[in-house]
Every structure is written in C-alpha cells, then in structure tokens.
Structure 1
C-alpha cells in the first residue's frame, strides 16, 4: 500500500533519529538506510505514475550525512528534507481519502500488524535475538500513533481517548529506542495489548 509504505519510511527515520540523539550513532545507521533498501523500490513505480519527483537522492543524502559522527544539529537539515519529501508523497493521496476515518484506521492497522511481526522476530525465549527489529517495531507504532493524533478530529471523542490510552499501553513494550537488557513483554503479551487498538480501529 502506497501510503503505509511511506508511513513505514517515517517510522524507520523516527527511530534512527532517536538512536542518533541518544548517542547510538552506529545502531542508528541501518535505520537511516531502511527507507531506501526496504521501501523505495516498491514505491518507485507509484511515484512515477503519480508524476512525483524521485526523492531517493534526498534519502541517500541523509544516509551520507549521518555516516560521519557529529552533532545532530549538523544532520537536522538533511533529516528534515527527507521527511518533507516523504510527507509530500503522502500528501499526494487524494484529500478525501486522507480525511477518511476508515482509510486512516486501516493505515494504522497495517503499521501495528507489521510492528507485531517485527517484535516477534526480535524476541525469542525471553531474550532479544534481533534488536534492529525491536527498534523498527517501535518506529512503526510511534508513526501509527502520530497518524491518529494528526487526524484526531475524525474520531469520536470517546474512541479517540480509548485509542490514545491503548497506544500508551502498547508503547510500554518499548521503553526507549535503545533496547532494554531483557524484553519488557513477550510477543504474546504485546499481542494482547494490541488487541484493544485493533478492535477499536477495526470498527471503522
């Protein structure tokens, strides 16, 4: 799905920035590259069909910029340019569709299901076996929550409050972008936390 692939790009970049700003520059590197390596090839035909500018060079420029350690302030412009390009591509989705509660809810569900899949890949037998997937999953949930917050007026007040509380409960699985010593939740426990989100969003 065009829109959710772009949203996943934002999830990768969000966790990359968190790691970089936490002093984990080496851990951040793969996440800065994931939008290109995992999503851009899928999106390229759709971008061409929509007549949108190729923004792979903008993503590559960010990867190059963060390759050398340094203060985040010196990387922020390249990061902002990458986000601006992704947001512009997301904005090309028809306005009526972007403002449709069912569309926004489905986009969140795709991100949340992918987050659970990544978390399952990250954790085995009470231990982290792939920290990169833990970090990806955090980025996807944060991005799904940001989608909800950006379109808060589409949801009834009680549903929006329930969703926000369910997101906060779910995010307890990721105390930070830097993985804790041992997982806070098993994949099964995370799935149970996600149930309220999935059930509420599924109503739309």
Structure 2
C-alpha cells in the first residue's frame, strides 16, 4: 500500500507551505534532524509482525541512526510508507501496530501543544504537520474500513492553524479535535484475545521510541527536533500508562515494574519540550531502562 496523497491532503500540505512562507518565513519542514530507529520490528525498518498477532519481542540489533527524517512523506517503512516502519497493511489486522500508529500520531500533537505553550510556535507547527504525510495518508483506508469516518480535514485544519493567524487557544481547540478523532479511531481497533498484552506492547514501543530519541538528541544536540519528538513519545507513553498500567500490572508485574522505572527516567529528562541545560539521567541510563522493558516484553 503506497502513500496515497488525496486531493484534500495535497491542498492541506500546499497550504502549509504557502502560509508558512508568508507568515513565518519558514515551512514546518524547516527544522532538521533524523529519527533514530527502534529496535523492535514494528518500530524500525525491519519486517512488520505477522498480521493478526501481537508484535514479536525486541531484537538484539543496535540502533541505526541513519534512517530518514520526518516530513519527507516517507519514513523507514520502505514501500509501505509510514513513519518508523509502521506498516498500514499489517495495521489492518494487528491491534498493536494499529494502536501504535495512532499513538505515534498523538505524540506529535502532544509535543506540538507543549512547544506552542513554551513559545516555540514554529516547532509546534512542524509537529502538527508531520503525522499527515508520515502516517495518516497510508492509514486512512484502514481506519475507514474499521468504520471510522476520515478526519483528514481535521488534521489539515490543525496543521495550517499556526500560519492562519489563529490564536493559541484556537490552535489548541483544533488539536483537541484531532485528539478526539484519534480516540474514535482507537475505539475501533482490531480485536485481540489478549488486549492486556496488546496494551503492554504499545507502551513498550512508545517507551523505546522516547529513549532512542533522547539518546540521539544527546549525541546530536543540533538535531533539536529529536528532543521534541522524544518529549511527545514520553508524555504519550505516560498517558497510555495512566490508562492501562493497572491491568498490565495485574498480569505482567515484572514488565510493569520496568515500565514504571523507564517512564520515571523519561519524564525526568523530558520535563519540558525545550532541551534543558542539564539532565537528570544519562542517555545510557535511559536506554538501559528501555532495554529492560523490551527484555521483559520478550517474556510475556
């Protein structure tokens, strides 16, 4: 399933570029930085898991920092499109991939709102634009097949808002519409015999993404977008944990303990959407906690 750029999407993307040039002198894609590759199969460029079953545990491969950056219309998923290797064809039947795709989208809006509140309007605008071409365009047919109405217009409205002279409150309202649409799409996720494990795997994926972005941001400070991406993943993982940790802990105590430790470290280093002058944990300490989560995941 290649990237399907509908007329409405192209109109939205064109509007971003035109309004960005006129309003800010900078398009949402102006910030650079590459996204590190996750170790798990669904998160990186490796093959996606078999459809209809939860994703496999983490592989032992080292992170690859040479993957494509965001905003180019195609991530590390090869011909399937999708950011960080999210395969829309697999998402049609695999609830882990389906929910992860939507939560990765959510992370961008969480990060974008935080950047906006911190006065980083351009960085926030970029976060609102990326999920459209990187994830949603390929995922839209899957979402519609699940009985959820397309929300491309809602996404476009949020992405162009910073360049239309919208106030912060107006932008926040449009982003909240996106978040509500993501909630509706998640409610229609494919079923699994073990949704607790599904929720654990989505949490582990978000934790891993945040940890790898943090490691990359520390190694390449000039790639400021990596830090903001990591902020979004970390805080979205925390939200996911708030919703699902009790059930996960009831069945997978070791995993839950490791996830709590990883989240504690991630939230400490991603306390704000702007890189701080000093950090509570080293990159090694954060990645080590994430690796412990992946190890526990492999034993579920």
Match of 1:111 among 201, 206, 209: 206
Matched, 1:131 2:220: no
Deviations 1:46-90 (A, max 9, x none): 123323211111100011222245542222321111111111111
Q: Measured at CA, do residues 32 and 133 of structure 1 come closer, stay the same or move farther in structure 2, by a change above 3 Å? A: same
Map of 2:106 onto structure 1: 10
Map of 1:65 onto structure 2: 161
Map of 2:124 onto structure 1: 28
Map of 2:69 onto structure 1: none
- Following superposition of structure 1 onto structure 2, how do residues 133-152 of structure 1 map, counting pairs within 5 Å? 133-152=226-245
Question: Any unmatched runs of 5+ in structure 2?
Answer: 1-96
- Give TM-score scaled by structure 1 length: 0.84
Secondary structure, counterpart of 1:128 in structure 2: coil
Distance (Å, rounded) in 2 between the aligned partners of 1:120 and 1:69: 35
Q: CA RMSD in A?
A: 2.5
Matched, 1:85 2:181: yes
Distance (Å, rounded) in 2 between the aligned partners of 1:128 and 1:69: 31
Q: Which has the higher helix share?
A: 1
- Give TM-score scaled by structure 2 length: 0.59
Secondary structure, counterpart of 2:192 in structure 1: helix
After the TM superposition, which of the residue ranges 158-167 and 35-44 deviates more from structure 2? Answer: 158-167
Q: Which protein is bigger by CA-based radius of gyration?
A: 2
Q: Contact 2:262/2:286 (CA < 8 Å) preserved in 1?
A: no
Deviations 1:134-192 (A, max 9, x none): 11112112112211210233133665566334311232222310112466655433211
Structure with greater contact order relative to length (CA < 8 Å, sep ≥ 6): 1
Secondary structure, counterpart of 1:155 in structure 2: helix
Distance (Å, rounded) in 2 between the aligned partners of 1:197 and 1:143: 16
- Following superposition of structure 1 onto structure 2, how do residues 173-192 of structure 1 map, counting pairs within 5 Å? 173-181=269-277, 185-192=281-288
Distance (Å, rounded) in 2 between the aligned partners of 1:38 and 1:181: 31
Q: Contact 1:119/1:133 (CA < 8 Å) preserved in 2?
A: yes
Q: CA deviation at 1:17?
A: 0.3
Q: CA deviation at 1:98?
A: 9.4
Secondary structure, counterpart of 2:119 in structure 1: coil
Equivalences, count? 201
Question: Any unmatched runs of 5+ in structure 1?
Answer: none
